[in-house]
Amino acid sequence: MAVKRPSGPQGSLILGSANQFRDDEPNFLLESVKKYGDLVYFRLANMHTYLVGHPDLVREVLVTQGDKFEKARLDKQILGKFLGNGLLTSDGDFHKRQRRLAQPAFHSKRIQNYAEVMVDYANKIMAGWKDGAVVDITEEMMHLTMLIVSKTLFDADAITGSGDTAVAIANAMHDLQAVSNRDYQRGFSLPSWVPTADNRLRNKAAAQFNQVMDQIIVGRRQTAVNGQVEDTGDLLSMLMLSVDEEGEFMNDRQLRDEVATLFAAGHETTSNALSWTWFLLAQHPDVEAALHEELDRVLAGRQPTLADLPNLPYSLQIIKEAMRLYPPAWILNGRTALTDVAIGGYTIPKGSTVFVSPYVMHRLPQYFDEPDAFKPERFTPEIEKSLPKFAYMPFGGGTRVCIGNAFAMMEAQLLLATIAQTYRLAVAQSEPVPYKAQITLIPENGIQMRVVMRETAVSPTSELAFA
């Protein structure tokens, strides 16, 4: 068995490639695979890092030898401070138990009940738009997905009576995520008792989130009959009703951690995917016109429903292609080798960190011709089936594939169809729209877009579409 390291960028004596990595993390990883091959070694200060850049090697890490890895210590340190020991941060038997307990909440019949909620909230957001107005579409999509996740997760309506609950949780999660992003930029996380400004903000936000969620959970338990909570139709109900093999329910701490994980994952990832989708559509009027043709032909002006989605294949292809170019989860949590692991003809030593990056896999020319081009036709069923497994992986893969992937795709397709029926969105800024690689891949400064009623819109081929 080979023991030498694979090739990769050398970096400096002390920091290794840390500075180059932080300058532009996704592009650093992509260019490293292009230059050095399917398995790349580099050092980030004292962290020995291996990057896999081939579908077969991704399979090795996530599936075939997945039990030889655990979540990286840095990810647990940072994410654990606001997601606790939920699905995103837990490992081993505990993770398997929590996954089994959470799975019924995402049964297809369960999540299908939320389609009407998604369309309803999209219409409520559009009710605040005016023809020709300029909005930050990133903020608009973030608010929209917050409304949806609050309603579907714990039955809170941020527009009507229970708005304070949803807004309080959203604000707390925003602060927790902002601090975590800064921890990642620093490359370390100080203990929570160290009195830094970030720790004070994190502790305050965590206390706020815990207080609100504890009130919700206690309220559900108080109305339980013979220990059985009422199924109110939301995801929290299902989490509280799920029982493991020993007949045990999740305790309140576990419930809180899973709600935090699902709120964070269901809030920002879908909103970012939609923001990038609108941005790409505005630059490709031919794709936008084809989308409108499909919507007009299938829906004829009525609201989309769950039953319509199979008849709107092009809208789904658009979303998949946008998530190829700008996958919200641009990199999966790092994996730490629990023992020496043989992968790709090399030995990854115990304690080393392994990176798997959907952004990298999605932009490799050996799997996607013209990888930087926006071409939804890549995702016709026939072409998609021809892709190697793990060449396209916006939701990760293996036993840790995103538990809410079907929910997210249904939501994105319904929101795209609902909004695109009424409005065209045109880029309304001259500045570039760079990404920022945080926990998710976000537009760094938002995206200013002009909303134009389709009845009065300029021709999709007009240069005014980019004004």
Give the chain's domain count.
Answer: 1
Cα–Cα distance for residue pair 404/262, rounded to 1 Å: 8
Residue 8 lies in a domain: no
pLDDT tens column, 86-141: 888 888 889 899 999 998 888 888 888 999 999 999 999 999 999 999 999 999 99
pTM of full prediction above 0.85: yes
- The string of pLDDT tens digits covering residues 379-408 is 999 999 999 999 999 999 988 899 999 999
Q: Per the domain annotation, does 7 fall within a domain?
A: no
pLDDT bracket for residue 159 (50, 70, 90): low
Q: Is residue 286 a part of any domain in this protein?
A: yes
Angle at CA of residue 259, ends 254 and 260, nearest 5°: 100
Q: How confident is the model at residue 459 (pLDDT cuts 50, 70, 90)?
A: very low
- At residue 81 the predicted structure's pLDDT band, cuts being 50, 70 and 90, is confident
Estimate to the nearest angstrom the gap between the alpha carbon of 162 and the chain centroid. 26
The shares of helix, strand and coil residues in the chain, as percent rounded to the nearest 5, are 55, 10, 35
- Could you give the CA distance from residue 464 to residue 467 in angstroms, rounded to a whole number? 5
The CATH number of the domain holding residue 382 is: 1.10.630.10
Could you tell me if residue 5 is inside a domain?
Answer: no
Q: Which domain holds residue 346?
A: 18-466
* 157 occurs within a structural domain: yes
CA dist., res. 449 & res. 136, Å (int): 6
Helical H segments across 225-312, by residue range: 235-241, 252-283, 285-299
